[in-house]
Structure 1
Amino acid sequence: MSLSSLLRVVCALAVGLGMASPVASQHEADLPKLVERWLASPHGDYSSLSFTYWNKDGAVPVACAACHSQPGFIDWLGADGSAPGVVDHPAAINAPIGCASCHTAAAHALDRVGFPSGETVAGLGPSAVCTVCHQGRQAGDNVITATQGLDEDAVSSQLGFLNVHYGVAAAVMHGADVRGGFHYPGKSYAGRFAHVPSANSCVACHDPHTTQVATDGCLSCHRGVTSLRDIRTRHGDFDGDGSAAGGVHSEILGLHARLYAAIQSYAATVARAPIGYANGTFPYFFNDTNADGQIGPDEAIFPNRYQSWTPRLLKAAYNYQVAMKDPGGYVHNPTYILQLLHDSLENLSEQVTLDMRRVRRP
């Protein structure tokens, strides 16, 4: 489809839905450039598994449609005349998130969004539409419910891995306010990460069409670094490697790696079933059948999913996944991510030998 044809389709869709043209506010000369930028973005990728996974079924199911199909998102907004906040029917396949998703009166008016924890955040402004789909599908509260009343270190057939989903930047950014991670009792956690006013929303940092981060503003304030990953405003050896050099990103990576090693140690010695993680393969945690510390293609299959969960192991694995599924967590809310990882590691140290002496909690 040519660019001009695509523009006509976009506008026709908007008119057919009874909405103002989603591109009416843009200068006509800018439209081809904007559409090209959108087509090169994850939201406009027609080949992405995010929009093609359900092709074999012929429709995107109701539970997934709001974020994995433009018609589903329009349905959720109520921009098609339906009730807002719910999806009424399965949505079309091969329909990425496009112009008509965000450039509607309903999208512009959206200012508050509910999270899986049951909390609702208001005053989101233009970040509201981003928040709808980047909040995850689980909350730490679900982990509490699943493990309540169970022996902390006994394998339970009642337990299965709770996957927070992916792209959970909004849940991480709002931290303790929405309880996206599992919060250990007696611990306090950082709330919404408030940046400077000029960089305190999704669209202030991410180009709304390409989703790429505009780094110039960051580096103009954070002098002496050449990469966002080198920025550090919290000083301390959070991962316990004896060094506080480098950016906070390196501390998160170090602590994340230590947590994974502790998860594997606990699974092998307490649950007596070796575990491994396969990024990008649902449900992520699998039996390490040959106990080599790796999950090979023959092990990363659903029938081999890990099923020897104890409450303590599930809590740590859940937080490990929260950190994994927001690779930008070092910008969105580094303190919150470090706290989740630290407390998970500390909790596992009650059952496996870990040197926590140099690990600092922010």
Structure 2
Amino acid sequence: MRSKLVALVALVCLLPAVAVWLGHEGMAQDQDIAEETDEAPIFLMPQSGPFSPETIAVPQSAAITAWARSGHADASALAFSYWNASGAIPSACAVCHAGTGFRAFHGLDGETPGLPPAPVPIGSVVDCQTCHNPGLAAVTQIVLPSGRSHPIDPGEASCTTCHQGRASGVSIASTLEGREEDTPDEALTFINPHYATAAATRLGGYGQIGYHYPDKDYSGRFLHARPVASCASCHDPHSLSVAEETCLTCHQTGNAGEIRIARVSFDGSGDLRKGIAGDIAANSRRLLSMIEEYARTVGQANLVYDGARHPYFFADDNGDGIADQTEGRPVPYKSWTPRLLKAAYNWKVVGSDVGIHVHNPPYALELLHDSMEDLAGPLRLDFNALNLGR
């Protein structure tokens, strides 16, 4: 199916070139016709055939092929097919899950910029006009979920619009204001930062996608180093693959998971040979374990995490590690306390960006460290004894 799609896209893009070629071939013939009749020809026809469109060079064919094989073009992917059963994509979701919704949001369809006025039909993907629309040059700022208006460089509008997440530490703080830290509240539900949030995590404390604990400082935008200055510095904009040769400009390996940028052990292991991704993964596992222990001992209700189902955290009354079921559906966890929700949200922020060890490792480690430190008190743990770096 994918090979047929690639062939179809390539053929469509070849048609203009074929038309031009045919025009040259038939020009003399049509000029004769025009001179005899004093009328312009209705259409141009070649003098002979058959023809082979696939032999005509198209400069952008490689980019088109790469895009057609990427996740942005995969109409069967969950990101684009989730709403197939309902037949339409809600306006808020369509901004990033349909090219038509994206263009409506930025006013690239000739209408007033904003959410599409009605649900958008299914079947649209991140198409060429999502990123190559000339009108995007006029988009100079993107408002983040935290409320901050972030100035962007040309070419960043598409990436920043759709990879900024849907929540922030500001929304967490607002939701929990005035509530007792360790008192379960059934009115609380898990707040999800959304998925593939690299544009937000890259901005760190400046963008504030994570919950920031009071009296703590957080790293801002991870500037990395030249020539890494934008999303396209590392990601092929069409295939979405990572250009490992860019890493080799400064590092001994192109495998980002093996690169370590610090001489400090953040996970308490003392192992400085592994990549910084290893420290982030270890602290993420430790935080999830503390979240589960806190839910059991302070919240008085077991929880279990299932990343394949919303809202991800479910009740597990018998502690068997499997979500409780009612009418064939998992039961959402209902014993959230403000302290537990903040820690779980930060844990999900770090996990929602699979490349956070490249996009902003200091920020990831800070969110994990502070969340664990906050849970340690009620759990009566000697946090300093864990020897965790921040």
Going from structure 1 to structure 2, the CA distance change for 1:2 and 1:337 (only over 3 Å counts) comes to: closer
Going from structure 1 to structure 2, the CA distance change for 1:149 and 1:331 (only over 3 Å counts) comes to: same
Give distance in 2, aligned partners of 1:166 and 1:126.
Answer: 21
Question: Does 2:313 correspond to 1:285?
Answer: yes
Give distance in 1, aligned partners of 2:13 and 2:185.
Answer: 51
One of 145, 158, 166 as aligned partner of 1:129: 158
Report the secondary structure of 1:51's partner residue. helix
Determine which structure has greater relative contact order: mean sequence separation of CA pairs < 8 Å that are 6+ residues apart, divided by chain length.
1
Report the secondary structure of 1:121's partner residue. strand
- Displacement of 1:6 in angstroms is 3.0
Going from structure 1 to structure 2, the CA distance change for 1:103 and 1:28 (only over 3 Å counts) comes to: farther
Aligned AA for 1:352?
A: L
- The aligned counterpart of 1:247 is 275
Kindly report which structure 2 residues correspond to 1:192-271, keeping only aligned pairs within 5 A, or say none. Answer: 192-223=221-252, 225=253, 227-271=255-299
- The aligned counterpart of 1:51 is 80
Which deviates more, 201-210 or 99-108? 99-108
One of 168, 174, 181 as aligned partner of 1:145: 174
Gaps of 5+ in 2: 16-55
- The aligned counterpart of 1:344 is 371
Going from structure 1 to structure 2, the CA distance change for 1:155 and 1:70 (only over 3 Å counts) comes to: same
Give distance in 2, aligned partners of 1:252 and 1:350.
Answer: 22
- Displacement of 1:191 in angstroms is 0.5
Give distance in 2, aligned partners of 1:145 and 1:302.
Answer: 30
Give distance in 2, aligned partners of 1:284 and 1:308.
Answer: 14
TM-score scaled by structure 1?
0.90
One of 323, 347, 354 as aligned partner of 2:381: 354
Report the secondary structure of 1:54's partner residue. coil
Aligned AA for 1:245?
A: R
Kindly report which structure 2 residues correspond to 1:31-180, keeping only aligned pairs within 5 A, or say none. Answer: 31-180=60-209
Report if the CA contact (8 A) 1:242-1:358 is conserved.
no
- Displacement of 1:11 in angstroms is 10
- Displacement of 1:5 in angstroms is 4.3
Going from structure 1 to structure 2, the CA distance change for 1:162 and 1:28 (only over 3 Å counts) comes to: farther
TM-score scaled by structure 2?
0.83
Aligned AA for 1:313?
A: L
Aligned residues: 346
Gaps of 5+ in 1: 13-26
Report if the CA contact (8 A) 1:219-1:228 is conserved.
no
Aligned AA for 1:117?
A: S
- Displacement of 1:201 in angstroms is 0.5
Report the secondary structure of 2:86's partner residue. coil
- The aligned counterpart of 1:310 is 337
Give distance in 1, aligned partners of 2:153 and 2:305.
Answer: 35
Could you report, residue by residue, the CA deviation over 1:253-282 in whole angstroms, capped at 9, with x for unpaired residues? 000000000000000000000111111211
- Displacement of 1:95 in angstroms is 1.0
Give distance in 2, aligned partners of 1:106 and 1:297.
Answer: 50
Q: Percent identity of the aligned residues? A: 39
